[in-house]
Chains A and B, each alone.
Chain A
Amino acid sequence: MTKTRASGRTVGGLRTLSLQAPAVTLLLLWMIIPLGMTIWFSFQYYNLLMPGMSGFAGVENYEYLLTDPALWKAMGNTLLLVGWVLAITVVGGTLLAVLFQQDFAGRGIARVLAISPFFVMPTVSALVWKNMMMHPSNGVLAWLANSLGLPAVDWFSALPLTSIVIIVAWQWLPFALLILLTAMQSLDEDQVEAARMDGAGPIAIFFFITLPHLKRAISVVIMIEMIFLLTIFAEIFVTTSGGPGLATTNLAYLIYMRALLDFDVGVASAGGVIAIILANIVAIFLVRMVAKNLED
Chain B
Amino acid sequence: MATLQLNNITKHFGDTAVIKGIDLEVNDREFVVFVGPSGCGKSTLMRIIAGLESATDGDIVIDGQRMNDVGPADRGLAMVFQSYALYPHMTVEGNMGFSMRLAGVPKEERRAKVLETAKILQLEPLLDRKPKALSGGQRQRVAIGRAIVRNPSIFLFDEPLSNLDAALRVQMRIELARLHEKLNATMIYVTHDQIEAMTMADKIVVLHDGVVEQVGSPMALYHHPANRFVAGFIGSPKMNFFDVELISTSPEGVQVRLPGGGECTVPVNAQALENASSENTPIESQPALELGIRPEHLVLDEAGALSGQIEVLERLGGQTSLYVRMGDLLVTLMTDGDVAYRVHETIRFGFAPERAHLFAADGRALPSLAQHPLAGLTRHDNRTSGDAEALA
Are A199 and B99 CB-contacts (below 8 A) given A193-B52, A208-B87, A209-B87?
A: yes
Q: Report Cα–Cα, A191/B99, bound state, in Å.
A: 13
A213: which B residues are within 8 A, CB to CB? 88-89
In the bound complex, residues from chain A placing their C-beta under 8 Å from that of B88 are 191, 212-213
**Residue among A190, A193, A198 making CB contact with B98, cutoff 8 Å:** A198
Q: Which of B71, B74, B87 contacts A195 (CB 8 A)?
A: B87
> A196 touching B72 by the CB < 8 A rule?
yes
CA distance A292 to B231 in the complex (A): 58
Contact with B along A208-249 (1 / 0, CB 8 A): 110011010000000000000000000000000000000000
Q: Which residues of A contact B71 (CB under 8 A)?
A: 196
A188 touches B102 (CB 8 A): no
B355 lies within 8 A of chain A by Cβ: no
Q: Tell me, rounded to whole Å, the shortest Cβ–Cβ distance linking A30 to chain B.
A: 38
B102/A190 in contact, CB under 8 A: no
A198 with B102: CB separation less than 8 A: yes
| Chain B 1-23 interface mask (CB, 8 Å, partner A; 1/0) | 00000000000000000000000
Query: Does A200 touch B at the CB level, under 8 Å?
Result: yes
Q: Which of A194, A208, A209 contacts B79 (CB 8 A)?
A: A194
B72 / chain A contacts, CB cutoff of 8 Å:
193, 196-197
CA distance A240 to B227 in the complex (A): 83
Q: Does B50 contact A (CB under 8 A)?
A: yes
Q: Chain B interface: which size bin?
A: 20 to 34
What is the total of A-B residue contacts with beta carbons within 8 Å?
Answer: 58
Indicate with 1 or 0, residue by residue over B82-117, a CB within 8 angstroms of chain A CB atoms.
110111110000000011001100000000000000
Q: Which residues of chain B come closer than 8 Å to A199, judged between CB atoms?
A: 73-74, 99, 102-103
Interface size on A, residues (CB 8 A): 17
The answer to whether the Cβ of A112 comes within 8 Å of any Cβ in the partner chain is no
- By the criterion CB–CB under 8 Å, are B102 and A194 in contact? no
- What's the nearest-Cβ distance from chain B to residue A18, in Å? 36
B150 touches A198 (CB 8 A): yes
Contact with B along A174-201 (1 / 0, CB 8 A): 0000000000000010110111111110
Cβ contact within 8 Å between A212 and B89 = yes
> In the assembled complex, which residues on chain B have CB atoms less than 8 Å from the CB atom of A197?
50, 52, 72-73, 77-79
Known pairs A193-B52, A194-B79; A200 contacts B102 (CB<8 A) = yes
1/0 per position for B131-158, CB-CB distance to A under 8 A?
0000000000000001000100000000
Q: In this assembly, does B349 line the interface, its C-beta being within 8 Å of a C-beta of chain A?
A: no
Q: Is the CB of A188 within 8 A of B103?
A: no
Least CB distance, A31 to chain B, in whole angstroms = 37
Binary flags per residue of B301-344, CB closer than 8 Å to A gives 1, else 0: 00000000000000000000000000000000000000000000
Say whether B85 contacts A198, CB under 8 Å. no
Contact indicator A194/B81 (Cβ below 8 Å) = yes
A188 contacts B78, C-beta separation under 8 Å: no
Smallest distance from the beta carbon of A205 to chain B beta carbons, Å?
10
- A204 within 8 A of partner (CB): yes
Say yes or no: B102 contacts A193, CB within 8 Å. Answer: no
Contacts of B74 in A (CB 8 A): 199
Task: Give, as a whole number of angstroms, the nearest-CB distance from B236 to chain A.
Answer: 29
Whether B99 pairs with A198 at a CB distance below 8 angstroms is yes
* Residue on A nearest B99 in the bound complex, by CB: A198
Sample 19 A-B pairs with CB under 8 A, ordered by A number. Answer: A190-B81, A190-B82, A191-B86, A193-B52, A193-B81, A194-B79, A194-B81, A194-B85, A195-B87, A195-B98, A196-B73, A197-B72, A198-B99, A199-B74, A199-B99, A204-B102, A208-B98, A213-B88, A215-B89
Not counting A193-B52, A209-B87, a sample of 10 additional A-B residue pairs whose C-beta atoms are within 8 angstroms of each other reads: A191-B88, A193-B79, A194-B79, A194-B85, A194-B146, A196-B71, A198-B146, A199-B102, A199-B103, A213-B89
